[in-house]
Structure 1
Amino acid sequence: MSETLRLLIADDHPMFRAALRYALGEIAPGASIVEVSSQSALEAAIASGEEFDLAMLDLMMPGAMGFSSLVYARGERPELPVVIISSNEHPRTIRRAQQFGAAAFVPKSAPTTMLGEAVKAVLAGDIWFPPQKAERDEHDAQLADKLALLTPQQLRVLMRLADGLLNKQIAYELSLAENTVKIHVTAILRKLGCHSRTQAAVLVKGLSLEDEGADLHGSTTQ
């Protein structure tokens, strides 16, 4: 692999990031690695304009709601392949990750050889997912299609709206004028086919992992 590879790791557990960095050093020697530990830090890294060849995302970072980090990354940088690294190995989680645009899914319990297979496949332009039996979910497909209509800024506004923030709070967090936030909210509701902020928030809850049947209280480290 090229020594100029730039990789982005997004995980809130320092020990797991260190383990992943070590593993990637074996897989892609000489690669440059940027680490972030929250949704806001991920947004800043992606918005910085820095070029990355691959992003590796945990699903349970602070500020993220299930697949929101994946949806945001794909919306902001559709050319950037995203590998999900998660302790939630439920077949439906794996299927949903694929439907929301991930290029690969690697369980945190997987050996380094499996991680290497996934990374090499994705960098070669392929996808990589472990065998799983969950079927395609039409509700998830429709949600993914709706979210794809939003601009990256609208996605940022939507995620904060789903957290229950008021327009002035969203404006403060995103350094926007309150009127700009109002305009974004109006556009978001129209694109999502929602009649209220509450309805949009409920729609976003479809990104959560709460019905996957796995331990959602934190990720495990290897």
Structure 2
Amino acid sequence: MADYRIVIADDHPLFRDALKQALTALYRDIHIAEAGSLEEAVRLLDAAEEPYDLVLLDLKMPGVQGLSGLVFLRAQFPDMPVVVVSATEDAAVIRRALDLGASGFIPKSTPVDTIRSGIAAVLAGDIWVPGDMALAGRPDSEIDMLAARLATLTPQQARVLMMLREGLLNKQIAYELSVSEATVKAHVSAILQKLGVESRTQAVIAASRIDGEQWAS
């Protein structure tokens, strides 16, 4: 059995390969799975016979454009640590990622040795961000409150919300989840209540606000 089992979720093969090399140099016996989209990462995690120890999650790839992917993974797999690996170095984004349950945040500009140290710290049970990353600053209380509300969604509600963001109708969501339309409607009602909004459109806008506009990789 491998010492650690890790999923690298990033749509850039060269960056995935760089992370693999960093990890294999750190641990002699390690199992690394690669995913180029959020959907592919979820399939890997769902199908795993043994649980993974860590997911390294990019914030911009097919199926995710920002922190909504983190919200989704934390809802679906609440016991599994997720470290965000992103091109952004915005302190507000990093702080919000930690508030949403990330176990760490690694900017893509981070030197390899520091990446190794960060991943080792998270695998040891710590929360990690680069030591020179200043997280102080004026928080956006409205967005922070929204982040807290998103964190209360159940796994199925988080999945439904992401499908709403993709523009799917209730019957399409029902088909994708193999449930009835009535069940989807119940999930949508619960989502609206938890987010404190009155319509599907407002729910989608609220979920989009958590992502911001700074995603560039």
TM-score (norm 2): 0.90
2:97 maps to which residue?
97
C-alpha separation in 1, matches of 2:142 and 2:100 = 11
1:1-222 map, 5 Å: 3-48=2-47, 50-130=50-130, 131-135=133-137, 136-210=139-213, 212=214, 216-217=215-216, 219=217
Is the Cα contact below 8 Å between 2:6 and 2:32 reproduced in 1? yes
Structure 1 residue 148: deviation in Å? 2.2
Is the Cα contact below 8 Å between 1:11 and 1:61 reproduced in 2? yes
Paired AA for residue 160 in structure 2:
V
C-alpha separation in 2, matches of 1:57 and 1:14 = 14
Is the Cα contact below 8 Å between 1:3 and 1:31 reproduced in 2? yes
Gap regions ≥5 residues in structure 1: none
Structure 1 residue 169: deviation in Å? 2.1
Paired AA for residue 178 in structure 2:
S
Deviations 1:37-83 (A, max 9, x none): 11211222233354011110000011113111111111122221111
- The change in CA–CA distance for 1:3 and 1:46 in structure 2 (over 3 A counts) is closer
C-alpha separation in 2, matches of 1:204 and 1:122 = 27
Gap regions ≥5 residues in structure 2: none
SS of 2:129's partner is: coil
SS of 2:61's partner is: coil
C-alpha separation in 1, matches of 2:155 and 2:44 = 14
Is the Cα contact below 8 Å between 2:37 and 2:63 reproduced in 1? yes
**Pairs aligned (count):** 213
Is the Cα contact below 8 Å between 1:70 and 1:102 reproduced in 2? yes
Deviations 1:102-138 (A, max 9, x none): 1111111111111111111111111111222443432
- The change in CA–CA distance for 1:134 and 1:160 in structure 2 (over 3 A counts) is farther
C-alpha separation in 1, matches of 2:126 and 2:195 = 31
- The change in CA–CA distance for 1:174 and 1:61 in structure 2 (over 3 A counts) is farther
- The change in CA–CA distance for 1:139 and 1:28 in structure 2 (over 3 A counts) is farther
Q: Which aligned segments of 4 or more residues in structure 1 are displaced greater than 4 angstroms? A: none
Structure 1 residue 35: deviation in Å? 1.1
C-alpha separation in 2, matches of 1:30 and 1:69 = 29
Is the Cα contact below 8 Å between 1:3 and 1:28 reproduced in 2? no
Identity %: 48
TM-score (norm 1): 0.88
